[in-house]
Amino acid sequence: MRSALVSAPGNELAGVSCRSGTTAYYSQNPAAADAPPSAGAPALLEWLDKRGKSRAIADLAAFERKCALIGATVYGVWDVSMDYLAQTPDKQSKGKPYSHP
């Protein structure tokens, strides 16, 4: 019989990793994912021990706000000319300020 490791009604659970009886996962309320980063909504990296006790290890949204990572990371192609990017702007972009951490 299978059972749920974690139950958080209304929250998004993702990035689950299980090893040696412990589980790490990411938890965020979907409404908070669309809130401006300055709103302070948490995006938690959590740990579930062998006894089923959960604890937050880090607030990834707070880390992104503190380190100013939101919107600063460049995704896509690198080492190309500005002329190329002007013709194909979809090949490079910055992270959205309202994205998941």
The pLDDT value given to residue 16: 85
Domain-located, residue 6 = no
- Structurally, the chain folds into a number of domains equal to 1
Domain-located, residue 99 = no
pLDDT in tens, the chain (101 residues): 677 777 777 788 888 888 888 888 888 876 665 665 556 678 889 998 888 888 999 988 888 777 766 667 778 888 889 899 889 888 888 766 555 55
The pLDDT value given to residue 97: 58
Domain-located, residue 25 = yes
The pLDDT value given to residue 20: 85
Residue 82, domain extent: 12-94
Q: For the chain, what percentages of helix, strand and coil (3-state, to nearest 5) are there?
A: 25, 30, 45
The pLDDT value given to residue 1: 66
Domain-located, residue 100 = no
Q: Residue 59 is encoded by which pair of tokens?
A: 């607030």
HSE-CB of 70 using CA atoms within 13 angstroms: 18
CB 88 within 8 A of CB 65: no
